[in-house]
């Protein structure tokens, strides 16, 4: 004989019971259950530097001083090479097509080039256009008989040809090599000499 299902109405004391639960609530009033770490993070206004333990911006793992030191160490470990013809160089958001030009800009901004991280950039090329990625949301998923019309395929081939031909060096990103430190020092030395000469001429 099949067991008849027990009927429990919402008013039945067995339908639910009142329980007291313990958990972490952040300063902002958000509930985190047993996740004390995230609750503490949510309720905090600053973070601690993992290197030196001083206070740093919330969400950052390092203070500015430690992060600059770390970048400098990584930078000095990069190979020093000649800047290839036609390549850009950069320091943070400042880009130039010529090392002397970049150094002049840094000096104007009061940044000392011999202790700054100047990178040789790598070019970014236009990526290929993939017609199937482009159409993936509208191609009937169950229907593998679907073929892109010849005209669209030909246009995609033509677009890719143009991207290869004209889409090179569209932009630049800091690469994994640096200009020779001796060359940077030499350019800075020249600028200092020029300044001295100007001062002497003016006096």
Contacting residues toward Zn ion, per CB under 5 A: 49, 51-52, 63, 66
In degrees, to the nearest 5, what angle opens at C-alpha 13 toward C-alphas 12 and 15?
70
Taking the least distance from each CB to Zn ion, the nearer of 69 and 180 is 69
Shortest Cβ 117–Zn ion spacing (Å): 18
Taking the least distance from each CB to Zn ion, the nearer of 61 and 114 is 61
What secondary structure letter does DSSP report for 6? P
CA-closest candidate to residue 118, choices 135, 139, 101: 101
Orientation angle between helical segments 99-108 and 181-202, nearest 10 degrees = 60
Shortest Cβ 110–Zn ion spacing (Å): 24
CA-closest candidate to residue 64, choices 75, 54, 73: 54
CA-closest candidate to residue 44, choices 57, 32, 34, 54: 57
| Phi, psi dihedral angles at 177 (to 5 degrees) | -135, 165
CA-closest candidate to residue 35, choices 53, 22, 48, 50: 22
Shortest Cβ 64–Zn ion spacing (Å): 8
Alpha-carbon gap, residue 100 to 109, rounded angstroms: 14
Shortest Cβ 75–Zn ion spacing (Å): 18
Taking the least distance from each CB to Zn ion, the nearer of 107 and 117 is 117
Q: Where are the alpha helices (DSSP H) in the chain?
A: 36-42, 64-76, 99-108, 131-135, 150-166, 181-202
Shortest Cβ 56–Zn ion spacing (Å): 7
Shortest Cβ 188–Zn ion spacing (Å): 29
Taking the least distance from each CB to Zn ion, the nearer of 51 and 80 is 51
Taking the least distance from each CB to Zn ion, the nearer of 48 and 122 is 48
Taking the least distance from each CB to Zn ion, the nearer of 62 and 89 is 62
What secondary structure letter does DSSP report for 130? -
């Amino acid at each position: 004989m099949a067991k008849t299902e027990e009927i429990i109405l919402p008013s039945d004391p067995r339908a639910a019971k009142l329980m007291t639960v313990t958990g972490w609530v952040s300063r902002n009033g958000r509930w985190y259950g047993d996740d004390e770490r995230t609750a503490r993070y949510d309720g905090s206004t600053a973070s601690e530097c993992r290197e030196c333990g001083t206070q740093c911006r919330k969400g950052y793992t390092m203070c500015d001083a430690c992060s600059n030191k770390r970048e400098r160490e990584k930078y000095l470990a990069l190979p020093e090479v000649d800047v290839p013809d036609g390549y850009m160089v950069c320091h943070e958001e400042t880009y130039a097509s010529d090392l002397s030009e970049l150094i002049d800009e840094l000096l104007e901004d009061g940044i000392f080039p011999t202790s700054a991280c100047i990178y040789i950039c790598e070019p970014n090329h236009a990526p290929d256009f993939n017609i199937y990625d482009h159409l993936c949301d509208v191609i009937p998923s169950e229907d593998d008989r679907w073929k892109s019309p010849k005209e669209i395929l030909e246009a995609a081939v033509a677009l890719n040809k143009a991207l290869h031909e004209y889409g090179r060096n569209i932009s630049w990103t800091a690469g994994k090599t640096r200009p020779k430190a001796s060359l940077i020092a030499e350019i800075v030395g020249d600028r200092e000499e020029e300044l001295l000469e100007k001062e002497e001429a003016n006096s």
